[in-house]
Amino acid sequence: MPTLRRFIVLALLAALISAGANAAAAQGRQIVNIYSSRHYGAMEQMFVKFTQETGIEVRLSQGSPQALLTRLEQEGAQTPADVFFSVDTGSLVLAAERGLFQPIDSEVLRANVPEALRDPENRWFGLSQRLRTIVYNPDKVDPSELSTYEALADPKWNGRLCLRPATHVYTISLVASMIAALGEEKTEEVVKGWVANKPQLIDSDTRILETIAAGGCDVGITNHYYVGRLYAQNPDIKVKIFWANQEDRGVHRNVAGAGVTANAVNRENAIKLLEWLSDAEKGQAGDETGLPGGNYEYPVNVRARLNPIIEAFGTPKIDALPLSELGKYQKAAIDLLGRAGY
């Protein structure tokens, strides 16, 4: 009964929002409704700038990727959402598989987003790159001791690691990339090695970095842009980046990306938003208003300039696995993490 009641409430809310959107359209107002799992404030500067430049009002609803996918499915044709914006490839692939996106024929998006960073059927597009790599305290660790994600299973790291929990999408996607590269048997052996090293499980990349800097652990795995944020506040903080797996497949890459929903009412505005976000001079601009700039993410558009802080990180070798392939290993990764006792 609670599930049925929740469904009815969601359906009523969707109908009310949809009615509001239709009323706005009838009044000649241009809008685009976004379901977003990004969590960087009520309205990011990139959306503010988009509205200023195009006159299209952005309406944002936030939540976890799983909650927003469930909401999209339950709302069906009545959804007010025109765009689903996610911080993880896995949920973008899942949305496409569930028929929640529509393919977009956009010459602009094909030109701005490399093939490996978008869906083969153009149902979703990566809009910024997130490199998940090894971080360490330079007072505790010589970088010559570091090499790969797999090497963190070595017993010398016992009691010295800080990692995200198994339930987080960042952990799941990293393990999925390892399955793609190494196979399940070898990956499970590695993850069991991590577990044997008794890591501190901290559900925040920022707190992992702060713990490392404070001497609470020596090595961790985080997304690169969290380091960028801390450097912007304190360039002398006792944390450094080590690009993982540079002698083999390269560092693990994920994306923040988006697709136009299958039932988008404001379809053309949604396409305009994605095209704008992929533009090297607009959404990809390396300043505080751009998608990668304010959050220190790497742009997907090769013509975009880099924020100076992440430019100083160098040019790492990146795992070339197409992100559409990465999404296929998500369930296997979840199952493996459970078996390994992570």
Same domain membership, residue 204 and residue 334 = yes
Tokens coding 177: 């990339």
Which pairs from 14-22 meet CB under 8 Å and 24+ separation?
A: 14/75, 14/78, 14/79, 14/80, 15/78, 17/80, 18/78, 18/79, 18/80, 18/265, 20/80, 21/80, 21/265, 21/266, 22/265
CA–CA separation, 225 and 87 (whole Å): 13
Average pLDDT over residues 40-54: 79
pLDDT tens track for 220-243: 999 999 999 999 999 999 999 999
Cα–Cα distance for residue pair 318/302, rounded to 1 Å = 14
Report helix angle 184-196 to 330-339, nearest 10: 40
Q: What pLDDT sits at residue 4?
A: 43
Q: Are residues 142 and 244 located together in one domain of the fold?
A: yes
Measure the CA–CA gap between 24 and 319, rounded to whole angstroms. 45
171 in Cβ contact with 179 (< 8 Å) = no
Q: Predicted confidence band at 184 (pLDDT cuts at 50, 70, 90)?
A: very high
Same-domain pairing of 222 and 277: no
Confidence of residue 324 (pLDDT cuts 50, 70, 90): confident
Q: Same structural domain for residues 83 and 66?
A: yes
Residues in a beta bridge with 259: 84
In a domain, 125, yes or no: yes
Nearest to 172 by CA among 62, 71, 84, 91: 91
Question: Please, which pLDDT band fits residue 117 given cuts at 50, 70 and 90?
Answer: very high
pLDDT band for position 13 (cuts 50, 70, 90): very low
pLDDT digits (tens, 9 = 90+) for 129-178: 999 999 999 999 999 999 999 999 999 999 999 999 999 989 999 999 99
* 200 and 269, same domain (yes or no): no
β 298-299/161-163 pair status: unpaired
Distance CA 12, CA 16 (A): 6
- Looking at the DSSP bridge assignments, the partners of residue 148 are none
64-90 confidence digits (pLDDT tens): 888 999 999 999 999 999 999 998 888
Q: How many domains does the chain have?
A: 2
Percent of the chain with pLDDT over 70: 88
The domain that holds 248 is classified in CATH as: 3.40.190.10
> Quick check: is 264 in a domain?
yes
Residues 331 and 207 in one domain: yes
- Give the pLDDT band of residue 47 (cuts 50, 70, 90): confident
Other C-beta atoms lying within 10 Å of the C-beta of residue 279? 19
**Both 179 and 95 in a single domain?**
no
Evaluate whether residue 330 is within a structural domain: yes
Please indicate, yes or no, whether residues 123 and 267 belong to a single structural domain of this protein: yes
**What is the sign, positive or negative, of the torsion defined by CA atoms of 112, 117, 119, 120?**
positive
The pLDDT value given to residue 250: 98
pLDDT digits (tens, 9 = 90+) for 202-212: 999 999 999 99
Same domain, 97 and 165: no
CA distance 56 to 35: 16
* pLDDT recorded at residue 323: 87
With 0-12 CB in 10 A as exposed, 13-18 as middle and 19+ as buried, what is 23? exposed
pLDDT digits (tens, 9 = 90+) for 86-108: 988 889 999 999 999 999 999 99
Note whether 22 and 265 are within 8 A (CB).
yes
Q: What is the pLDDT of residues 256-304, one digit of tens each?
A: 999 999 999 999 999 999 999 999 888 887 665 556 545 888 999 999 8
* Residue of 229, 256, 253, 242 lying closest to 313 (CA atoms): 242
Residues 88 and 65 sit within 8 Å (Cβ to Cβ): yes
Q: In the structure, what pLDDT confidence band is assigned to residue 189 with cuts at 50, 70 and 90?
A: very high
Domain range enclosing 189: 131-252+326-339
Tell me whether strands 125-136 and 252-260 are parallel, antiparallel or unpaired: antiparallel
At residue 327 the predicted structure's pLDDT band, cuts being 50, 70 and 90, is confident
31 and 142 both lie in a single domain: no
Segment 14-25, tens digit of pLDDT: 444 454 444 444
Are 206 and 334 in a shared domain?
yes
Whether the pLDDT of residue 44 is over 80: the answer is: no
Residue 241's DSSP bridge partners are 135
Do the domain assignments include residue 320?
no
Question: Considering the domain boundaries, does residue 195 fall inside one?
Answer: yes
Length of the chain as a residue count: 342
